[in-house]
Amino acid sequence: MNSAFTIQVTTDLAAEPVTVQEAKDYLRINNNVEDTLIGELITSARQRLEGFTGRSFGAKTIKVRFEYVDGWVELPYSPITSITSVENDAGDTLTYESKGLEVKEVFCNANNGVIITYVAGYTTLPKALKEAILKEVSTSYENRENYVIGESVNGLSNGAKQLAQRFSRNTLLGLGF
């Protein structure tokens, strides 16, 4: 049985997977006036899409704390490239096994949680996810406030969702970092 968990990104991406110039080319912008805004929109779009898919779009170090673990537990963001440490709240190293996206720890109780530090992220972002970022940047640039379709306010554009959906792990939809 596994319980609630908290996530902390301790080291984020060194560089965004989409450059400001790539976004400007996609938006057909020929000046540098809004480069800062476009850079912020890229970061925001990437973070929302990471939350939607449950995947890290570039290498980052993540620390996740489970209050209680009894058996196999799936780590919240993938693809996982390495596990740095598995510890209890007292800082004691725990024995674990790993397979794919799962890690097996020793039994812990709610007063002695499990903290797993690991590195996750694509080394090369799939083209569909890069295009999803560009579509989301475009939507955010053109619509500088929430936009409504039908009766709901959308957090992601339909085009970005369609491109990213096949990468979704469906375990973290809507949580984000």
Q: Which two tokens stand for residue 45?
A: 């779009």
The tens-digit pLDDT sequence of the chain (177 residues) is 556 889 999 999 999 999 999 999 999 999 999 999 999 999 999 999 999 999 999 999 999 998 877 777 888 888 888 889 988 888 888 888 787 666 665 555 555 688 999 999 999 999 999 999 999 999 999 987 665 655 555 578 888 999 998 898 754 443 443
The CA angle 143-177-136, to the nearest 5 degrees, is 25
- Burial classification of residue 135, based on how many CB atoms lie within 10 Å of its CB (0-12 exposed, 13-18 middle, 19 or more buried): buried
Q: Tell me which residue range forms the domain holding 146.
A: 1-177
Q: How many CA atoms lie within 13 A of 121 on its CB side?
A: 19
Q: Domain total for the chain? A: 1
